[in-house]
Structure formats: structure tokens, C-alpha cells
A and B are shown apart, each in its own frame.
Chain A
């Protein structure tokens, strides 16, 4: 019957195929009926096949048919075979042909097959490679990703170079999903060919810089696998990883946290030891006033936590609320290994919560708690009852709970615990009951108050009916007696009586040992026990025999009269025992105790050897030494070093340079002090609590420039070193102060939802966001501010700070542009640059929203760091015409002042020129020609080789105006033509903001009086103009920085001239509702008067 099937089947299939062919050629839609028939056939024929050969033949035929559904059916059965672990490798050629199928399910199943068998059939597998290479170029990101996934999973060494190429390409893909896949592929390639390590590390380095949360987890996995020792790759990404952590998917969080734990242990100093010293000293000073002098030399400088260390602790804490138990555990271990001692306890509650989870989770968590509870009882003591054992718990959970309860026992709670133990001893689970007895023994030794109680309880257990319980009690009693043998001869006698009833070897051995050790306390009983033993010596277990020999020897020494013959008898029995240990022991004992000619010397010391006082055993937890492993690891769980385990290093004595973690900044900026960003920071009330103290600490430590510490936190850190500090702080505010720009789930998802809303209402895909940002740039600040406040929770923090939100927004638009120009590798983001990219992307609706949100977080975080470094200049940029396209024969040029410090020379003003080709032919070789005056110092942009019609390009140049408003004239040349152009700077553009405190300001102002002071009263167009509006006007005219002011009616700004660095101070006295007294103090009187004119005009219009 079975044999009949294939032929029948193939006949039927053949018939179906011809029918199908004719039907298809006739373009008839008979398809459903046909396939139904086919299904019926395949079902009836295919199912009962258990004989492989026939089945596989049959499958091959189906795979080679040209009917999709047949192929699919065949592949499903093949997958069935694979899943059962049956060999289906002979089908390889038939299967691999279908790799380019259009049917997605079929394709996926072929992938499954290919990955499983490619290693065995390498040559044939190569046939499929070209398909994947094609798919790697597919416009659909998911197809690119899955192609890379399969390609990298085919473990064929020949294609290593292809894989390498594919990975490198995918690592720079626009889609974060593809980049994530490439991170996975790195590990696969590495395991296939470890020689590629160096190249792979380069890719990892690139991917580590990725700002997408999707990529972060996967690339860290790759890092851990390929180059876990290259800790230097992490430095620059450390803060980013900390900030992104909340938004990374849960599995990624686990690996990132454990990697950061390791990282932190190498980079920060220990918060533990110094901490204690610190506290102690505090106390001392509190109680005892003259310890002041003493303190000086002894105390090292007080421990101060690195802000980055704090950042890590702070950003991981919310993850304790994760539903993923692995995440909670990894945060717990991070706190255990990194947090100051008093902060570790925040994890307790969450760990106890995990005990409600699955049995396996409980097992691991209890193991970790057991290790923790040895060192830190206090952490878990309040939750003691959560570790009470239920009769339904599996045994390994029960013993772990018991372990923890024992660790937690102290004088206060021991009675509760012992009562609980009493219940456990009666448990039907005898292994557990035995473990309980051991636990009682440990409690008895650890807490001397209850030793007697425990001992009595254990003695009662000796009359228990259960063998194992009694045996365990004996063993534990033996250990307890050893600690205080003096008063317990009664117990020893009692045990001797029990001896006949006990059959467990360990217990019998223990009793014998006790007899021997304390034979002087039971002088009558011991020889009797020995007599009994002599009778049954041969039938005993080895361990009992050994102890019998011991007992005999000890009795021989103390009581040789009664036991001499017995001992000799036992030694003779031992001499011919089957076990060599016993024979050895017997021989040794005989030489030791029985005096003979040969062994004279040793014999003298026999008594001292055998009856030496022995140290009492210490009853210790089995988890005592587990803390050598990082908590939560496999190694910790097994108590064995697992392969690939990374040791957690000890804290360094001196922290390595923390500045390595600073994100790159542009070099010339360094000497240029941050102004507004720094100044506004102290004002924000939405500060995170710890920032305060840290900053103050830092401030006081570093207060090098400011004389008055009263406002030390806001003091101008105008020295060059301050830049690093401020960028640190900016990051802190961006993450900490409620806004948590890039990090928090909330803000990002808010942004997301809002975006979707917009999408809905406006029926545009990417437009809303783009138009928003455009309008910002045009100076439509109101709209920007409204959108900013509603857009996300960021507004919470912004509203706290004095500077208006739109300003920040505007900066977001102006500043990154600059940064992109200056440093290409730093993938700072320019929204303008970004938009064309998006329109190119294949699936704009999906990608744009997600990418944009990824990038949104990114741009914010960048801005916050950039604010500190570069100028917080006011956004709306006036653009001036440089060359009209009519005069320029199609070439148009506009320029504006980006108000950035010039990269080329500090004395230059940076100018950005936008060149547009309005002609109908490409323009070539655009460059700068002659200039006048000849002395004019201009840093030209590089020659633009070619500008296509309609295209435009932005270039930046630097011009040294020497603090004069004299126009810079030069020639703008193309290949054919030259156009004379000139840049006429407004006086306000010749300035740079300069940070100072209010006190400094007044002092400087006093120095610049008389001739150096220019003032005027301005009447404003509208009464009661808000302060913000006024300062906006001032900032729009002049590139100066606001100085924090304690007086309500004063506005102060400070700046320096770009070339000569002369100080320029602007102060506005708001006298009444509409009049303002404007004062400018500077040595450059000409500039002052010009600026005064400009400002007056601007304010009058306001």
C-alpha cells in the first residue's frame, strides 16, 4: 500500500501540472479548485509518510514543481523535519533554487533551511549568495535587513569578504533597523573568522557612536563579544549610553547595564571606603570642636562622586520598575557593585518583588539575595517574612530561602526564625528538614544567646523517627559540641545510647569521633562502644571504620589497660581491609601508638598528635565565597567561572582622567568662554537635587577666577578649563532636570504621539516638523515657542529657566550647521541637511517619523552640549544680499553672520555665504579673488568645483574686520567671470558674548566711565514691553551675552570685540513703563556710538 502511494501521487501530480499549465495558458481562473485538489492529494499522500527516503523523493519533486503552493507545502514539511532534528540535507539543491521566490513565506522558510544546512553544503550555498547581494540594495529596509541576517548566518568561510563588505555598508545604512542587524552580523562574522577582528572593531566603533536606541543594545553585545577589553571605545559614548538607556529595548538594557558596570569599575574611584571616612569625620567635627587640627593631616580629601558615576546610578534607577526581571536584576547588581553603601538598599524592594515571578526566576534571585544578605543583613531584614517557606515550594527554592533566613538571623529576630524552623523540621520533604537542622546549627554558632536552646532542640530531634533527621542532628550536634565541650557530657552519653539505632554512616562516624575526642568525660562508656564496634567492624562503611580506628587509638592512649586488646584486634582487622585508605590509616596508627624499636621518636608525641585540641569548625554559608563573581551572572549562579566571564576589576586607587568622556568639541572654542548657557543654568528651578551639591563641590574646588563665592555657582568660569565642566553640567541638566531631553520615555513618546496627531490633521508625512523648524528660522518666534511648550515635557524644564524656549529652538537650528561644517565625523544633526535625506528614503511615512524622533532626541542633546561651548547667540538671522543673480550672471550669493566663534582665527568674524546657481548651466570653480583693502585678512572657502543649475551650497569664511565697520571688498570668481562684492558688517556682529557675573560687571563698568561711557534714553513704541522682548531686541542687534541680574529693572549684557578683545558692556535701566536708559561702556567709543544708534533704533521699534 505504502509503495503504491508515490507512483499514484506522481501520476496525480503530473496530471494536475498539465491541467494547470493549460489553465494558465488559457488564462482561466481555475486556480482555487485546482489547488484544492492538490491540497487534498498532498494531504492524503504526504501525511502518512514516515519512511524518509520516499518522503524526501516526494518532497524534491514538489520543490521542483512550478506551483507555488506545492513548493510551500513541501517547505513546510521540510521545516517540520528540521524541527524534529531529522536530516534533510539531501534536499539542498532543490531548496536553494527557491531562494529568489516572490512568495515571502516560502522565501522565509528557504532562509530557515539555508541557515541550517549551509555549513554542511558550502558549495551549493554559494549559489544563493548573489540573491542576497541583490537584496542588500533593496529600497525596502526590512528586505535589506533580512538579507544581511541570512547572509551573515550562512557559515561559509569563503564569503567572509562579502560579509565584511555588507556589514560595513549596512553599518552606515540610513535605517537604524539595518544598522542593528549589522551589529548582530558582526558577532557572526567574528565567530566565523576571528582574524577579521581589527576591521570589525572599526565598525563597532562607528556603530557605538550611533544615536539610535534600536542600535545601542545590539552594538554593545557585539562589543562584549568581540573586544570587551577595548574600554577606550566606550569613553566618548558613555554619557550617551546612560542617557539613552531608558529608551533602549529591554534586552539591550541588560547588556548595556552589565557592560557599564564593568566600565564604571575601571573608571571611577570607590564610593565605599572614603565614604565611611568621610562620615566618621563629619561626626567627629559635630561632637568635638577641636578635632579640626587633628583632621587636617589624617583626612584625605573627601570623597566626591564623579558626576558621570552619579549619572549612571540615576539613569538606571527607574529601570528597577521594569517588568523584565533580567533588567531589574541587572540594575540591582549595578547598584550592588557601584553605589555607595547607603544607596544599595533601594534595590531591595524590587528584588523581593521578583520573588513572585516564575520558579526559575525565584531561584536565580534567591541565589543573589543569599550572596547579598551575607554582607548586608540590614538590606533584607525588613522583608524576612517574604522568605518564609511554603510547603509547595520546590526543594531548591526551599533550601535557598533557608539559607537567606539563616543569614538574616540576629539576636533580635532569632526567636521568630527558630519558631519558623521548628515547622520546617517537621516537613515531609526530608532533604529540606535536614537542611533546616544545619541551619539551626549555624544559627546556634553565630548567635551565642541561643546556642543552648538550639542544642537542646537538636537533642530532642535525636529521638525523631526519621533516620535522616537524626543523622543530621548528630552531625550538627557534634560540631556544636566542639565549640563548647565542657558541660555537655550528658549529651554525649545520650548519643552513645542512640548509637545502636542509628544506621546513617555519617552520623555513626560522628558519634564515634565524639566518643574518642571526649573519652575522658565518658570513661566508662567509650570502651564499651569500642567493644561493640569491634564485633561489627567488617560490616561498617569506610567512614565508620576510619573513625573506629581513630577511637581505638585514642582510647589506647588514655585507657590502655581496658582497651589494649580491643585496639590490637581492630588494627588487625584494618590491616587486611579491602580499602587502601583504611589499610594506610591502620598502618600509620599502629606505628604511632604501639611502641616498637623503629618508631621511637614519633611514639613520644602520639598523645600530643592525636589528642591535640582541635579548632572548632566554623559553620559557614555556602554562599560565602560567591561574591567573587559579579552578581546576576551565570558564573555566580554556578559558582564556577563560566567561559567568557569578564572579571569585575577592583576600583582604581586614582580615577583615570574623566575628561576622556567629554564629547568632542571644536578646538578653537576652548579658549572662548561659555556665557549664557552657563549663566542661565543656576537660575533654573527644575534642577535635580544632586546637581546642586555636586556643582557646588566642584565650584568650590575650582573657584579659581571668581573672587566672591557668594554666587559661586553662577560665577564666571572664564578660565579655559571651565569648558569641560560646563559641558558636563549641560548634560546633567539635559538629562536630569525633569526634561530629560533625549532619554525619558515620556518625552519621546509624547513627541511621537504629537507627531502622529499632526500627521493626521495635516495629512502630510514629514512636512509639519519641517515647516516648524523653517518658521523658527525665519524668526517666527511666537509660533516656535507655542509649539515648543506643547510639544513635549521638555517645556517643564524650559519654563523653569529664564531664557525663553524659542531661543533654544533657534539655536538648535543655527548651531549644528556650524558644527557639521567644522567636524564631519561628529554626526551632529542639521535639520536642513536632514530633510532631503528623508525625502529620498523609500518609505517616508515610517522612517521619517521614527528617524526624526530618534534625531530629535539627538539634536536636543547636541544643542545642550553646544550651548555651553559656543555662542548662545540669538537666533533669527538676518540675511544680506552679497550678489544678485542678475548681476552675477545667474550666480546669487547671500550671507549672514552665524555668530559662531571663527574656526580659522579667533580675531575673525565668521560669515556664512549661501551660493545659489540660478542660471541654466553649471558654474565651475567658484572661489574668492582679489580683495581690497589689500591688507584685509580673509579666510576663503575652498574652491567649489562645480555648482549644478538650481543647486545651492553654503560655505563659511572668516573675515577680520579689525573692529571697524568698513566693508570688506573682494571678488567672487567663477571660471568665466569675476564679480566685485562687499560685506558690510553691522557693528553688533563685531562682538562676541563674554560671560561675567553681576559683580564683575559692575566692577568693570566702574572702570569704564567718563569718556568710555555713552548713554541715551530711548522711548519705546509700546509701553510695558516685557523684559524678554527687550533683551530679544538687544540680542538681535548685537552679539552679546546676557548677564544675570539681581535687579528687576536692570538688564545687562556683556561682550568683547572680536579683533581686539575689548570689553563692551551694555546696560539698560528700565526707568518706567516706556523709557529706557541705555548705557554702553567700552574703550571703543566709535563702536559704542554706532551700537547705541542701532540699539536705539531697534528698541524704538519694539
Chain B
């Protein structure tokens, strides 16, 4: 399946290679570099490429290309999903997934890759299992290891891999038993010039942080499960129970994980929390333009909108901006032509406004299209769809855990066309 993996940084250096079958020369990456040249933007590189002897499947995340070389037919999603799982594992182990961190921990990275694939087929991808085999680095342990000559490879062999609950390791112990759930919803929307909604939907995830002793069996139920239209679950969730009773019943993995993700049924109208009044115009004759943006609250369910931010990808011809904001700060990156206006909290009494002039490259034609605005925002303690967790019960263990549910609404891909 997956023959080799190359990690390539932004500037095109291969800084790590790993082979699971016969060694494939790194010159195979030249085809990829060619495609990368052509695509200009790293995001535009096609994920699947064909070379005379190999197929290259790559992902781009955290400024790193994960490039896998393959020799025979394999579902491309299989590889892509796996590569992302590798990235997730790095993130889980080292707190970030960057070139420096991978280079600093190259031995652990190598040990991980060795365990994750055997002959190109995934062997252990469950983070709990991996953590039992290869301990994540931390400062204390590395000091201890230096002193004692110990290692970060576990002597105990993973039990999880063999059990029916591979995602949970045996013998978990905590003094404080706690289970927290964050219901996070994102609004994906496209608004047109006049402010009417072209497209809007709500997607949510439930992120869990569970630190419970032993083998707890949890049941999470909702007040209004009918809202959920399409769901996907962590493998721990018993699908049959969901189908019949609409409750989430599961033995949780230890630590942080995504319990489920869902989509709210499309019949429900999506509440759009803010409205945007904007006027961007480029003058035909003079080499300048005007910009005027005002944001106000729309349907916020009585909560405050926080972390409001507007990002505008200006046309190439815009040289500089001369703007004043009544609230927050704005920056314009001359190289990438991105205007960012960081507003912060939205005050309904005094609406934030950004206005001023744009100076254009002299002689350049008037841009065809006005740039669209990307809005970012947060609303604490609110799930915009109205989804509510009704209760969490624990079976199988005697103690009483601390439980908590937090709600958060965010803007996902929230775009205003102008």
C-alpha cells in the first residue's frame, strides 16, 4: 500500500524520509516539485499525481507536505486519511506539527512511523495504543531518561490493541475524575451583496475531555436529538443505541477526543448572528478606491459576539490602504494583499466601522470584482442550532465524576460577497 513517506517543508527540502518496503529514491519527489512549481500556491497542488513508476499522494498541512509514494492501486482517500492521521499523531505527541519539532524529535517520529505501518498497511493508528508503546516526550521524562539511561519506549506492551476497546488503555487511574464536553458549532454561510443568505448551514462537533478511572461506560443524551441530521462518530460510540434511542453510549478513550460531529438538518433556518453593511468601490478614473464596512448584531440570542474579525483578500492592484476604525485594529499585508480588521467584542450600542480610501497601482485597470469579506466570530455559551445536552450518566464505576458541558458558536466559512 504505502511504500514510502517524505516530509517536505515549504521551501521544498525533504527533511525526513521513511520507507516501509524497498527504498524508493527521493528523486521521485522531483515530479512533485514540478507540480508544486506549476501550482504556485501550495494549496493548489493536486493531491494525486502520476509519475512513470509511482503514484504520489500528498497532503499539505501546517506548512509541511506529507508526500507518500505508492506503486499499486489503492484508494486515494485511504492514504490521505492515513497521512492526516500521522499529522494528528504528531500534533498529539509534540503539541504542534512543524518542521522544527519533527526534526527535534526525529527518533520518536521514526519509532511512531514504524509502529503505525507494517508493510505499508496501517497497524496501530489509535493514539492511546501508540502512547503505551512510545511515550510522548516531556521535559521531566527527558531529564529522568538522561539521568537513568532509561528510554521512552514502553516496556509494557499495549493491551489496547488486542481488546475490544482498542481506543482505551487498561488501568487508567485519576485522583480527580472528570468528564467535560464542548459542543462547538460552526456556521458556514455565504451572504450576497444585499445581505441575503445564499447558503448557510450549521456543523457541530462534540469535543470531549474525559479523565476517568477504570472502564466507565458513559451515556450522553440530548434534549432535542431530532435536530441532528447527519452524524459521524468516534468508533467508541455504539451505533445501534443511537439508531434506536438517540443517545450516545460509549466507553470513552482516555483524554481528549472528538466524540461526534454532526450537521443540523437543513430544514431549520440558520440564524445569522451578525449583519454587514459594506461599500467597496474602485473609481474608474483615479487610481483609488473607497471602503466602508459596518458590522452589527442580528440574531445573537441575547449573547455577546466576541472575537470578531474581518479578513479581506484585496485585488492585486491595491497598493496601500488608508483606513480608520472606530474599534479594534486593522493591518494590511502588502505582500499578500490581505486586510485584517480585528474588532474584538461587538458592542450593539456603538457599531464598529472601518472606512477610508484604498490607493491603487497607477494605470492598473479597475478590478472586476469586489473582494469578499471573511468573517470570524465567537459566541460563548450558545449553540446556535439550539442543541442541548440533557444528561450524562456513568455506569460501570462506583465513583462520582465531575461533569461539565460548554457551548460555543463560531463562524466557519462565513463569507460575505460584495
Contact = CB atoms under 8 A, between A and B. Distances in A.
A83 B109 CA distance: 10
A861 interface: no
B368 A466 contact: yes
Nearest to A69: B149
B50 A83 contact: no
B73 A749 contact: no
Contacts of A251: 78, 82, 121-122, 125
Main secondary structure of the interface of A (DSSP, over half): helix
A605 interface: no
B291 to A, nearest CB: 16
B55 A638 contact: yes
B325 to A, nearest CB: 23
Contacts of A247: 164
B272 to A, nearest CB: 15
B73 A643 contact: yes
Interface in A442-474: 464-466
Contacts of A428: 313, 315-316, 367-369, 371
Contact of A32 (B46, B55, B148): B148
B268 interface: no
A749 B218 CA distance: 13
Interface stretch (B19-27, B91-99, B328-336, B343-351): B19-27
Contact of B368 (A464, A632, A847): A464
B162 interface: yes
A931 interface: no
A420 B151 CA distance: 59
B114 interface: yes
Interface residues of A, number: 120
B163 A850 contact: yes
Interface in A148-207: 149, 152-153, 155, 175-177, 181, 184-185, 187-188, 191
A1097 interface: no
Interface stretch (B9-17, B177-185, B376-384): B9-17
A374 B165 CA distance: 42
A84 B164 contact: no
Contacts of A644: 71-73
Contacts of A646: 73
Given A85-B17, A104-B155, A153-B119, A350 B75 contact: no
A634 B76 contact: yes
B372 interface: yes
A68 B149 contact: yes
B275 interface: no
A181 B111 CA distance: 18
Nearest to A754: B396
Contact of B22 (A32, A155, A325, A359): A155
A326 B15 contact: no
B156 to A, nearest CB: 10
B241 interface: yes
Given A325-B81, A757-B396, A191 B43 contact: no
Contacts, number: 278
Interface in A345-375: 349-350, 352-353, 356, 358-361, 363-365
A997 interface: no
B239 A103 contact: no
Contact of B118 (A181, A214, A363, A849): A181
B101 interface: no
> Considering residues A246, A361, A744, which has the most beta carbons from chain B within 10 angstroms of its beta carbon?
A361
B157 A35 contact: no
A152 B19 CA distance: 15
B246 interface: no
Contacts of B199: 385-386, 388
A36 B44 contact: no
A258 B48 contact: no
A249 interface: yes
A152 B118 CA distance: 10
A252 to B, nearest CB: 9
B372 A642 contact: no
A119 interface: yes
A13 interface: no
A103 B151 contact: yes
B26 to A, nearest CB: 6
Nearest to A639: B50
Contacts of B19: 116
B72 A642 contact: yes
A326 B77 contact: yes
B84 interface: yes
Contacts of B84: 358, 360-361
B73 A640 contact: no
Contact of B238 (A176, A390, A640, A746): A746
Given A140-B157, A361-B77, A746 B369 contact: no
B203 A356 contact: yes
B119 A184 contact: yes
Given A221-B121, A321-B231, A753-B217, A642 B55 contact: yes
Contact of B47 (A330, A360, A390): A360
Contacts of B138: none
A494 interface: no
A397 B234 CA distance: 27
Interface string A75-110: 010011011110000000000000000011110110
B394 to A, nearest CB: 12
B70 interface: yes
Interface string B194-233: 0000110101000000000011010000000000011111
B102 to A, nearest CB: 9
A396 interface: yes
A350 B263 CA distance: 10
A176 B162 contact: yes
Contacts of A941: none
Contacts of B110: 79, 82-83, 112
Nearest to B216: A753
Contacts of B50: 638, 640
A745 interface: yes
B59 interface: yes
B162 A850 contact: yes
A112 B115 CA distance: 11
Interface in B228-255: 229-235, 238-241, 243, 249, 251
B18 interface: yes
Given A103-B151, A746-B241, A184 B77 contact: no
A753 B240 contact: no
Contacts of A634: 48, 55, 70, 73-76
A80 B155 contact: no
A92 B41 CA distance: 42
B47 A250 contact: no
A52 interface: no
Contacts of A328: 232
A558 B214 CA distance: 92
Nearest to B102: A83
B252 to A, nearest CB: 12
Contact of B258 (A35, A111, A323, A642): A323
Contacts of B60: 359-360
Interface string A319-352: 0011111101110000000000000000001101
Nearest to A424: B369
B239 A321 contact: yes
A846 B17 contact: no
Given A83-B109, A388-B198, A428-B368, A753 B238 contact: no
A159 to B, nearest CB: 16
Contacts of A356: 188, 203, 261
Contact of B240 (A82, A353, A744): A744
A349 B413 contact: no
9 contacts: A69-B149, A108-B153, A359-B43, A390-B415, A428-B371, A634-B76, A749-B251, A752-B163, A760-B214
Given A326-B81, A756-B215, 8 more contacts: A36-B146, A116-B19, A321-B232, A385-B199, A638-B50, A638-B55, A744-B238, A850-B162
Closest 3 interchain pairs by CB?
Answer: A644-B72, A105-B151, A426-B369
